[in-house]
Amino acid sequence: MLATAESCTGGMIAAALTDVPGSSAVFDRGFITYSNPAKIETLGVKIETLAAHGAVSEPVVAEMAEGARARSRAFMSIAVSGIAGPGPSENKPEGRGCFGLSFGSDVATEPEDIGARGREAVRRATVEHALALILLHAGDD
């Protein structure tokens, strides 16, 4: 079973997964935690982690992924946070994304610079990258 924790994609990963007939056999639920309070309240992301690293960071997506897995029936969860644009945030460029995967007792994170392609293209590329990561790790124990 799989769960998602999404910020910048706003549920697009869950939507892509559930577009596939029969996905209910492998997809448990999705968490859309766009705001920092939602990340804290829904997924258990620590205030200190957000304050120290910002929402678009590997430590935050690690906590998002762990929180999604712990709050679901999933064996694997994927979390994403990023700067979709238009334009950069105060400290990070447009197209900067962070991905977190929690599977079994392991957590892996990965930053990805998708590039300043515009909001829609950044969000689509983020979904594609997340789906590729899920496939890459689907057989991991």
Per residue in 77-119, pLDDT tens? 999 999 999 888 878 899 999 999 999 889 999 999 999 999 9
* Structural domain span for residue 114: 2-137
Output the 3-class SS for 88-116: CCCCCCCCEEEEEEEECCEEEEEEEECCC
Question: Looking at residue 69, which CATH number applies to its domain?
Answer: 3.90.950.20
Please tell me the predicted confidence (pLDDT) of residue 132.
Answer: 95
What is the domain count for the chain? 1
3-state secondary structure of 3: strand
100 compared with 138, residue with greater pLDDT: 100
Q: What is the pTM of this model?
A: 0.95
Chain CA centroid to CA 30, Å: 10
Please tell me the predicted confidence (pLDDT) of residue 140.
Answer: 61
Per residue in 5-17, pLDDT tens? 999 999 999 999 9
Which residue's entry shows tokens 């920092």?
A: 36
